[in-house]
Amino acid sequence: MSQKKERSPWAWIPTLYFFQGVPYSIVMVTSGLIYKTMGISIASFAFWTSVLYLPWAIKPLWSPYIDVISTKRNWVVWTQLLLGAAFIAAGMVMPLPFFYPLSLGVFAIIAISSASHDIAADGFYMYALDQHKQSFFVGIRSTFYRFAMLTALGLVPVLAGTIQKNTGLDPVTFQARSVLPENYIPFNPGEISIEQSQEKLKVLLFPSDLVVPVFQEGKSSLDSAVVYVALSAPPEEGETVVVNLSRESGSKDIDLSGSTTGRFEFDSNNWNKPVAAPIKVNHNLTGETTTQFLITAGNIAFSWTASLVILGFVLLAIAVYNRIIMPHPDEGKTSERMGWAVYKEVFVSFFTKPGVVPALIFFLFYRLGESQLVKVATPFLVDSRSAGGIGLTSAQYGIIYGTVGMLSLTIGGILGGITAAKIGLKKVIFMMALWINVPSAVYIYLAEVQPMPGNIMVYLSVAFEQFGYGFGFTAYMLYMLHYVGESKFKTAEYAIGTSLMALGMMLPGMISGAMKEILGYENFFIYVIICSIPGILAIKFLKIDPAFGIKKQV
């Protein structure tokens, strides 16, 4: 038993926190992509996936059960096994006629199980490690949580997209080119003639190369053109072919009109009736440019089935690994019986600690700026240059965040943990607060200068900001561990802290888009820096043990 207790944290912390990040990212973000490609309206899935956030926001309501019933280790293992099986189930329902309500039900199970897993995993972390190791590894756990987000938001959709491209009908590409209004000749849809082909079913496109007029205020109101999509032959009786049209590369100033989803369905009744897809130019565009579009008709439901099932089996494998590798710490289980008295004791203990007011301000406002930046940074980087963005392609964005950004984040998180473990949280927390907030100023520079997408300054700016996030976020996690301390129900109290963190991210994030629309990119990034002030000021009033996080001398 002693050998199990002494197992290196490097063996289980990466897998524990990688597992923690996957379900949240899939349910909160990737599910939107799934439902969009499956033809569900944005208004519908945006509402229901927002409702699914609820378990993470209210998890303190059942955290005392996890603190009292069984061990945190058992909760971790069993919730991981349940989550792996649930993702397999989510994949299996995708081809079914009523996949939407069924998948939402499975995602609800995943959300509740994931929130419970978070409580148990964070509690296990506190029981398995002393204060010094908690400080040292807090950056590691944050880094692998971000790796999980990269997997859920990047690798899973890439896998699904690859399957879509290699199933169903052959993909079709076409080019849209902007021209001045005086050079624009509209395509006549009356010229379209479709005769049933006896060859392999394929997607038809009219015209094959599209010309779109540039908008000129006061001179011409034209700003769009239409491309028509149909099939070369009817699908089999009862079969529906789903066609997706999307921008693949080139200028972002030419794209699908906001009024169309780019998703069309054809069956044996409408296969030869061309569907119109409006292509529109950005009103700030003044000259000629080109954009490449891609039309795919792959098996979308199967692509998500395969992706989610594969992910489920990966999570099951990690669950089995964690079951074998995780240590067996003395969790100091209480003999309390669940009831109102336990709930009261947990919440009274949390909200009556010395210095609770500045602590609450810190929990809610430390990430006030960063919580809004994270919602707008990506649209800014990929937005068209005429709209004030940088104009990165999807590939460039993936390289910047998937390589340079992730490396910088990892280094920042590790150095943050090492620094706090060496000199203590009290001495380093103010510096960390500056590091998580001040690097956001690089976006002010990017918005003002607008360097070209391949410019080294774009890479360096993102790397600097991500390093600062990794280094500075360490302070937040460590102070939460310090505030909970050696409380009788520290797992439940830590869950309250993470719930406050969720509110501190959710509520500002909800207004970030509106603030960007009001202020514009550059002024928004200045506003983000101003939002960092309350959280930094709260640090002066926090009560922190100077020795917290430093390795105790034996």
- Confidence label for 18 from pLDDT (cuts 50, 70 and 90): very high
CATH class for the region spanning 1-167+300-338: mainly alpha
399 vs 445 pLDDT, higher one:
445
Secondary structure class of 227 (helix, strand, coil)? strand
Q: What is the DSSP string of 403-429?
A: IIIHHHHHHHHHHHHHHHHHH-HHHHH
Per residue in 74-122, pLDDT (tens digit) is 999 999 999 999 999 999 999 888 899 999 999 999 999 999 999 899 8
Tokens for 196, please give them: 């049933």
Nearest to 135 by CA among 472, 551, 431: 551
- Confidence label for 327 from pLDDT (cuts 50, 70 and 90): very high
Strands 241-250 and 224-231: unpaired
Distance of CA 1 to the CA centre of its chain: 39
Average pLDDT, rounded, for the chain: 84
pLDDT at 507: 78
Work out the average pLDDT over 198-215.
91
Q: 354-548 has which fold?
A: Growth Hormone; Chain: A; (1.20.1250)
Work out the average pLDDT over 214-241.
88
Work out the average pLDDT over 1-19.
77
170 vs 334 pLDDT, higher one:
170
The Cα-based distances of 109 to 24, 311, 380, 492 in angstroms read: 12, 16, 34, 21
Using the predicted structure, report yes or no on whether residue 197 has a pLDDT greater than 70: yes
Per residue in 134-146, pLDDT (tens digit) is 878 877 887 788 7
Per residue in 491-517, pLDDT (tens digit) is 778 878 888 887 787 778 778 778 888
- Confidence label for 554 from pLDDT (cuts 50, 70 and 90): very low
pLDDT at 551: 64
pLDDT at 476: 85
pLDDT at 203: 92
Domain coordinates in residue numbering, the chain: 1-167+300-338, 169-297, 354-548
Supply angle C-alpha 404, 503, 434, rounded to 5: 45
Per residue in 423-482, pLDDT (tens digit) is 888 898 999 999 988 888 999 999 998 887 778 899 899 899 989 988 888 888 888 888
- Shared fold status for 1-167+300-338 and 354-548: yes
For the CA atoms of 492, 501, 131, 423, the dihedral, rounded to the nearest 10 degrees, stands at -160
pLDDT at 335: 47
Per residue in 249-278, pLDDT (tens digit) is 888 889 888 667 677 888 888 999 999 999
38 vs 386 pLDDT, higher one:
38
pTM of the model: 0.67
pLDDT at 3: 41
pLDDT > 70 in the chain, percent: 93
